[in-house]
């Protein structure tokens, strides 16, 4: 499945979680899925916990996150030490 089709799984509804990106209009935020992955949960564990969730939904969350950080710029903090 191409990225655009996967990203179509990510929706925004101002009435759910204050408009945070969610998966297919359901009450599961992209942020939550990414947090579970970051905590060490495998996609299989996540899928078992949410029977309606599909593997492509998890992939869509990862693509969404990658696209967001692709546009970030982090400026280094330069600290000059006194003489």
Tell me, rounded to whole angstroms, the distance of Cα 23 from its chain centroid: 9
Mean pLDDT, rounded, of the chain: 93
Which CATH class name applies to 3-70?
A: mainly alpha
Candidates 77, 81, 61; CA nearest to 69 is 61
Reduced to 3 states, what is the DSSP secondary structure of residue 23? strand
pLDDT for 83 equals 58
- What is the radius of gyration, based on Cα positions, of the chain? 17
More confident residue, 62 or 80: 62
Read off the pLDDT of each residue in 33-46 and give the average, rounded to a whole number. Answer: 98
Q: Record the tokens describing residue 35, joined without a space.
A: 């947090």
Domain boundaries, the chain: 3-70
**Residue 49's pLDDT band (boundaries 50, 70, 90)?**
very high
pLDDT for 80 equals 83
């Amino acid at each position: 499945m191409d990225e655009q089709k996967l990203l179509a799984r990510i929706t925004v509804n101002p009435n759910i979680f204050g408009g945070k990106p969610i998966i297919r209009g359901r009450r599961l935020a992209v942020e939550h899925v990414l947090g579970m992955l970051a905590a060490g949960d495998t996609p299989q564990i996540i899928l078992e916990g949410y029977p309606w969730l599909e593997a492509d939904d998890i992939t869509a969350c990862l693509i969404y996150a990658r696209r967001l950080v692709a546009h970030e710029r982090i400026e280094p903090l330069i600290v000059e030490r006194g003489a």
